[in-house]
Structure 1
Amino acid sequence: QRQSWENLKRSINGTINRLSPSTIKPLIHTLFTTANLLRGRGILARSLLRASQASPQYAPSYAALMAVINTKLPECGELLLTRAILAFRRGYKTRDRNVVSSTLSLLGHLFNQGMAHELLSLQILTVLLDGDPTEDSVDVAVGYMCVVGRQLSEVSPAGVHAVMERFRGLLHEGSIGRRAQYRIESLLKIKKGGFRDYPTIPDEENLDLVEREDQITFELGLDDEGLKKEEGLDVFHYDEEYDENEAEWAKIRAEILGDEDDSSDESGSDSDESEDEKEIADQEFDTGGGQEAKKTVVIQDLTETDLVHLRRTIYLTIMSSATFEECTHKLAKMDIPEGKESELINMIIECCSQERTFLRYYGLVSGRFCLLHERWQDAFEEAFATQYNTIHRLETNKLRNVAKLFGHLLHTDSISWSVLSCIHLNEDETTSSSRIFIKILVQEMAEAMGMVALKQQPATSTREWFKGMFPKDNARNTRYAINFFTSIGLGPLTDGMREFLKNAPK
């Protein structure tokens, strides 16, 4: 048994030492043939960790090897992932940059191969950037983001957005050195390009060996307390049931190698059978395919997967575009179906409200859409009424941005001034939130148009639209509106109401 153990160690270590993108396929077959990977999973995990620390540039190959093994023997994949997490925690605690960076390189490629959950990557980035990060931790975080950024953007765009906002915050704070600032600026450019030069799995290296649906993903977190290194698996132990266990492994190995042989045989015969299958399919199509083919099954998607995908695409387009023309062009090319206009409008409003201050970019995008087609203008006008009626749900900063957005659309005549007919400025029909909204809306228009032009607007438009905002139905409401506009510095707008109040019967 000891001799067999020594042979097992030599086989695994020798295979890992010879591993490269060009040798990975034959070495995988050799590894399954010559080594009991269940018995030697501790040796395999230790060898891969040591190899990744000595040669981080081969981390994609090590992750690809483990991705294949993990589909057949998930015990091996889970052990490697557990030890990699523990190695990162230990290296981060002792401030050993070499251990941290090399371990993260392996963890990043394990995530790209689908073995690690995206939550682990987000936790790692949070730990590295939390509090008052050092230049080393920022540098390591940038490197890790380059490795996982493309895949992470697909599975968790909100998480990537939060991480990039943290990077921008560090850049604006100026508390880090010049080198770290330069690294963050480089990352922002890479992110803007969609991590084009950092593919999830490099195509030219032939490391995409496992179908995504076949991979087993482990939801291990960075802060999991139950992680065990299982160092006992690295050393020799006498096995009283050695023969039975070896026989069991022989069966497992036969199944694994049999599957591989079957898959290779199938791939070879697929080309021969494809023409026959195509002919049969064509014949079925020509003859109607029998009674079964005539039955059409309508599948109704109740999970709203398409809707979620549409929202995600709209969000990513808005946040990644450099100019408002580029954003409008990309969104217009999406051919959003009629009836779904509100999805685009609501996403623009939501993105605008999330900013610290109002960005004119959102106003220009919205205005351009209103000019493109009447259906977009109608959708924005409906959104105005919806937002005003539910404005109490928004925080003050979000409320301010939304008000400025609609103020921009009004003073540029992108939407009709008739939307103001839903506003009734009196003590009974307004709340503190709606009054703040009206204040910022009118101040935005006054600043852009000038007081004279804004004052003349009711005369040039249909007066009915402004009856609620400048009430003349009774003296109580008129006084309330006069006091409101005077208190926010827009007294000249009240001249008409003051004249009405002056001539009103006592």
Structure 2
Amino acid sequence: MADPQAPFVYTEGQLQCILVDGDVDRRIGFLIEGLFAVRRTQFRGHPPVRPELDLVEQDDQFTHQIEIPLEDSHADQLDPETHLDVFKPSATFVQDEAAYEDLKRSMLGDDGEVIEEDEPNDDDDDDSEDMEVIKDETEINLINLRRTIYLTIMSSAGAEEAGHKLLSIMRPGQEAELCGMLVECCKQERASSNTRFYGHLGQRLCGISRAYQAGFEACFARCYAAAHRMGTDELRAADAVPWRSVLGGVRIAEEDTTSSSRIFMKVMFQEMAEQLGVRLLGRRMNDDDEPEVRDALFPRDSAENTRFAVNFFTAVGLGGVTEPARKILSL
């Protein structure tokens, strides 16, 4: 009888059926596709043994096998050593530890001891002193990564295909660079259909891993701080990351904004209203369950700051989202 507490293991065919049926959450579907991408790359980046733990050479490893079959008559002569199942303090613990350290040093060597097979050569020392350390500052690896990301995006017919390809070539630690590349590519696009492509692609990546969410949050903070160096045609927006983490450094008040940052927020919320609708956007902006977002967009520390935020959103054509703030001013 199967153990009821044992984890249920899905086969590859069952996972494919789950994706085809579409009966799971979209985030779960992204995770399953990510597993398929890792399998297609032969689990690169996921070694079976960590390099720091692979201390014994393959030729020096010994595999212990019991050659007596269990159904043999001599099988009952095997000692299961059941006394090891119960902990008992050892009277020779110190001696055993010393013997173990000696055995370890004989097999692995001493960390503080330098083992040299050949005699040192004075000429080699002189040559090593004359050698200069060459440091590559051309960032050729970073350039090749950006080129690969760009060509992968340009060769994809849709956001789903692009996300599938990018997940198969990305390595851990490269998420921030991919997010930055997507933002730069989106800034250069002019057609609205192409900008929606990058929005859907970013939303797909954020649904797979929180590392991509952190990367896009850092991109937003960097773009908002450099809004004075950006043109209005370079601003894009999409609803893919939590608002409270993105709007942590934003405050719609006269002393906390500049003309460039106000244009930045204007374009962003106008595109969000186009995607979500004014009614849903108003609920998201005034949600009492997320006071960080509400207080960042409609500061309530003073009536002057609240009035400034109301006038700002009214001036950009989003007066419908200011109704809760107007009620507070009328009290």
1:417 to 230, 237, 243: 243
User: Map of 1:11-30 to 2, 5 A cutoff?
Assistant: none
- Please give the secondary structure, in 2, of the residue aligned with 1:366: helix
Q: Structure 2: which amino acid aligns with 1:351?
A: C
Q: Once superposed, what is the RMSD of the aligned Cα atoms?
A: 2.7
CA contact (8 A) 2:180 2:215 kept: no
Indicate how the Cα distance of structure 1 residues 476 and 316 shifts in structure 2: closer, same or farther if over 3 A, else same.
same
1:383 aligns with 219
1:453 aligns with 280
Q: Structure 2: which amino acid aligns with 1:432?
A: S
For each residue in 1:289-322, what CA deviation from the matched residue of structure 2 results, as whole angstroms up to 9, or x when unmatched? 8478xx9999753321111111111122122222
Q: Structure 1: which amino acid aligns with 2:243?
A: W
Matched, 1:354 2:179: no
1:316 aligns with 151
TM-score where L is the length of structure 2: 0.56
Distance in structure 2 (CA, Å) of the matches to 1:290 and 1:326: 56
Matched, 1:337 2:155: no
1:305 to 140, 146, 159: 140
1:209 aligns with none
- Please give the secondary structure, in 2, of the residue aligned with 1:369: helix
Distance in structure 2 (CA, Å) of the matches to 1:462 and 1:334: 36
TM-score where L is the length of structure 1: 0.38
Pick the structure with more helix per residue.
1
1:365 Cα deviation after fit = 1.0
Distance in structure 1 (CA, Å) of the matches to 2:265 and 2:289: 19
Distance in structure 1 (CA, Å) of the matches to 2:189 and 2:118: 59
CA contact (8 A) 1:421 1:467 kept: no
User: Map of 1:149-228 to 2, 5 A cutoff?
Assistant: none
Indicate how the Cα distance of structure 1 residues 356 and 291 shifts in structure 2: closer, same or farther if over 3 A, else same.
farther
Indicate how the Cα distance of structure 1 residues 429 and 460 shifts in structure 2: closer, same or farther if over 3 A, else same.
closer
For each residue in 1:393-418, what CA deviation from the matched residue of structure 2 results, as whole angstroms up to 9, or x when unmatched? 1112112xx3x2xxx2x2xxx31011
- Please give the secondary structure, in 2, of the residue aligned with 1:468: helix
Distance in structure 2 (CA, Å) of the matches to 1:309 and 1:335: 12
Distance in structure 2 (CA, Å) of the matches to 1:299 and 1:289: 28
CA contact (8 A) 1:421 1:466 kept: no
Indicate how the Cα distance of structure 1 residues 417 and 451 shifts in structure 2: closer, same or farther if over 3 A, else same.
same
Question: Tell me, which stretches of 5 or more residues in structure 1 are unaligned?
Answer: 1-287
1:448 Cα deviation after fit = 2.1
For each residue in 1:345-378, what CA deviation from the matched residue of structure 2 results, as whole angstroms up to 9, or x when unmatched? 1111111110113321101111111011111112
- Please give the secondary structure, in 2, of the residue aligned with 1:337: coil
2:297 aligns with 469
CA contact (8 A) 1:470 1:478 kept: yes
